[in-house]
Amino acid sequence: MKSKSLKLMCILAHPDDESLATGGILAKYAAAGVQTYLVMATRGERGWTGPVQDYPGPQALGRLREAELRAAAHVLRLREVIFLDYQDGDLDQADPTEGVGKIAAQIRRLRPEVIVTLDPTGIYGHPDHIAISQLATSAVLAAADPNYFIPTGDLPHRTAKLYYRTFVPAEQAAYEAAFGPLTMAVDGFERRFTAWPQWAITTRIDTSAYWEQVWQAIECHCSQLPGYQKLKALPDDYYANLWGTQTFYRAMSLVNGGREVEQDLFAGLRDLAQPPMLFYLAQSLVGDMS
């Protein structure tokens, strides 16, 4: 597998999203030699799980959670973590032009073939998750547009594939067995965990060999662990559902399509990493002319 030059970028909202939602693919593709990058919108400054009176404040918690994320990134063998410096809970009120520009700048600098973000329902309607999905999708378009200007000096970059991480009913069952119904009240409405139907899944990645590494990454998020231990305590039956497979919706692809379910986020790109003979011929012709 010639994957040395391939790059995967995850664009997510909170420290721990990377391990819980995409830990399996980050570990798997890093092990296969893919360069993996993480763009993180916030430092999770409002994610305090201890007694209210002990909350250290947003800045101190943000520093702590950044350190936890960097430890998890080391476990997952990420090449680089980039923070966008938004406040936890405020991402859907951020200036969208600025947000798209910040992400597009990273896409143009790092030039990934594949980008993964959260699905447009925000897993359970979390406004930050929905916002990062929208901002990342827009940034993929902006980064490719030669008329879109950001003062970084990097050339436009056309990302070949964009995926939404989808959660399926089996994962919902596992999470709700641990935590009870996952809901969130927003604007007077109760939002619930929204599992994707099996038929809508375009891509299934076998991550079963990496669950111990993923769990090690999750355990780096010490400030959040009281909740996660419930996941670890689930009966074995749930383990395969939680860690065995990660599923995705291929929102955009310039290299493949159709109904066949993919087993590789880089499907359609592997051949491009090994250019056909015609490519070499064309190159040598150009070389002769210059």
Sites of contact with Zn ion (CB under 5 A): 13-14, 17
Q: Which residues contact 275 (CB under 8 A, 6 or more apart)?
A: none
Minimum distance between the CB of residue 14 and Zn ion, rounded to whole angstroms? Answer: 4
Comparing CB distances to Zn ion, the nearer of 13 and 231 is: 13
Compute CA distances 94 → 58, 59, 87, 125, 259, whole Å. Answer: 17, 18, 9, 17, 36
Q: d(Cα 198, Cα 105) in Å, to the nearest integer? A: 34
User: Phi, psi (5° rounding) for residue 100?
Assistant: -65, -40
Q: Which residue is nearest to Zn ion (CB)?
A: 14
Minimum distance between the CB of residue 226 and Zn ion, rounded to whole angstroms? Answer: 17
Minimum distance between the CB of residue 17 and Zn ion, rounded to whole angstroms? Answer: 4
The strand pair at 114-118 and 183-186 is best described as unpaired
Minimum distance between the CB of residue 165 and Zn ion, rounded to whole angstroms? Answer: 11
Minimum distance between the CB of residue 29 and Zn ion, rounded to whole angstroms? Answer: 21
Comparing CB distances to Zn ion, the nearer of 242 and 269 is: 242
**What letter would DSSP give residue 181?**
S
Minimum distance between the CB of residue 122 and Zn ion, rounded to whole angstroms? Answer: 9
Minimum distance between the CB of residue 129 and Zn ion, rounded to whole angstroms? Answer: 6
Comparing CB distances to Zn ion, the nearer of 17 and 171 is: 17
User: Looking at this protein, which amino acid is placed at residue 243?
Assistant: W
Where are the alpha helices (H) located in the chain, listed in sequence order? Answer: 17-20, 23-31, 58-75, 96-110, 122-125, 127-144, 169-179, 211-218, 225-232, 237-239, 270-273, 277-289
Comparing CB distances to Zn ion, the nearer of 17 and 113 is: 17
Comparing CB distances to Zn ion, the nearer of 14 and 191 is: 14
Q: d(Cα 166, Cα 93) in Å, to the nearest integer? A: 24
3-state DSSP call for residue 37? strand
Comparing CB distances to Zn ion, the nearer of 110 and 184 is: 184
Taking each continuous run of H as one helix and of E as one strand, the counts in the chain are: 12, 9
- For the chain, the maximum distance between any two Cα atoms, rounded to a whole number of angstroms, is 73
Comparing CB distances to Zn ion, the nearer of 14 and 102 is: 14
